[in-house]
Amino acid sequence: MVFPLQERYVNLLTDFGFKRVFGSEPNKQLLIDFLNTLLPAHHRIKSLSYKSSEHLGNTPIDRKAIFDIYCQGENGERFIVEIQKAKQNFFKDRSVFYASFPIQDQAMKGDWNFQLAPVYSIGILDFIFDDHQHEDALIHTVELKDQRCNVFYDKLKFIYVELPKFTKALDQLDSHQDKWLYLLRYLPDLDNQPPPFQDAVFLQLFEVAEIANFTPAEQDNYQNSLKYYRDMNNVIDTSRQDGIREGIERGIEQGIEQGIEQGIEQGRKVEKVEIARSLLGKLPVETISQTTGLTIDEITAL
C-alpha cells in the first residue's frame, strides 16, 4: 500500500533511505563525495565499486555479518559504512570484528607477501557513546598507536560520527562536511532545496531522495523501514523514561545515594527488556541478544 507523502525527502537514517542514496551504482558519486569529507587527504577516493559481504569470513557465524555498505576504492582500499541506530553492548568490539573481514578478504592463494590495502570502518551513529557524553567532538578517528601515541599502523582506521551532537543551523554550515552531516540528520525536515545545497552532488541527492520519485513498491518498502526506525526510537525513549522513573522510585525507599545507583541500573535493565520485546518476531533472537545484551534465555522467557 502506498502511504501519503507527509515528508518530501527520505530519512537517510532508515535502512531503505541510506541504501537508496548511498548504496546503488548510479548514485555512488554521492557516497564518494560523503566519504571524502571524512577520509584523510592521502586516502581520498575518485572511484569505487560495491562488493558483496555474503562470502566474507571462514565460518557460518562470520558470514552472518552483513554490512550496510561494503565497497572498494580504485587503489584497493576497503570501506565498511554502517548506520547504527541504537546503543549496543560491545559495539566497539563488533566494529573491530567486522573490520577483520575486509582484511582477510585480501588474502591471496599461493605465495603472498601480506601487503594489505587500507581498511576503513565508518559508523554513522544515531546516539552518543557513554564515554563521550561530555565531549564536544562528534567525529572520532581511531587508529593503532604505540605507547608514545605514534601511529603504528596507518592502514586500519575506525571513523565514528555521533550525529546527535551535530546541532548547526542552516546559516552556520561552514564546510562541505557540515552540509553532509546536516542532511543526514535533518533532510526529512526540509520541504525544498536550501541555498547552501546548490552543488551538483546535492542536486543529485535531492532528486534521488525525493519520495515522489519512488515507485509504489519503493514507497511501501520505505514506509516499513521508516516505521521500524520510529518504533525503535519510541521504544528506547519510552523505556528509558519509564525505567529510570521506576528505578528512582524504588531507590528512594532504600536511601537517596543507593537509590540513584540502583535506579539507573534498573532503568537500563527495563530499557533492554522493552527493546527486546519490541524486536521479537522482527529480528532473530541472536541479533536481539547482541543488540540488548540480554541472554538468549532471558529473551526466550519474554
pLDDT digits (tens, 9 = 90+) for 210-265: 999 999 999 999 999 888 888 777 766 665 565 666 666 666 666 566 656 666 67
**Domain total for the chain?**
2
* Strands annotated E in the chain: 48-50, 69-73, 78-84, 119-125, 139-145, 151-162
Cα separation, 61 vs 90, whole angstroms:
17
- Pull the grid cell for residue 266: 534498573
CA–CA separation, 255 vs 194, rounded Å?
Answer: 54
In a domain, 3, yes or no: no
Read off the C-alpha cell for 299. Answer: 529473551
Give pLDDT tens digits for 23-80.
989 999 999 999 999 998 888 999 999 988 665 655 555 555 567 899 999 989 999 9
Q: What's the whole-model pTM score?
A: 0.74
Q: What range defines the domain where residue 221 resides?
A: 217-301
Output the pLDDT for position 247. Answer: 61
Q: In what order do the strands lie in the sheet with 139-145?
A: 48-50, 69-73, 78-84, 119-125, 151-162, 139-145
Q: Is residue 10 part of a domain?
A: no
Domain boundary among 161, 184, 210: 210
Distances (CA, A) of 43 to 46, 88, 105, 121, 172: 10, 29, 19, 14, 28
Same domain, 261 and 124: no
- The domain boundary, picked from 157, 192, 210, lies at 210
CA distance 165 to 128: 8
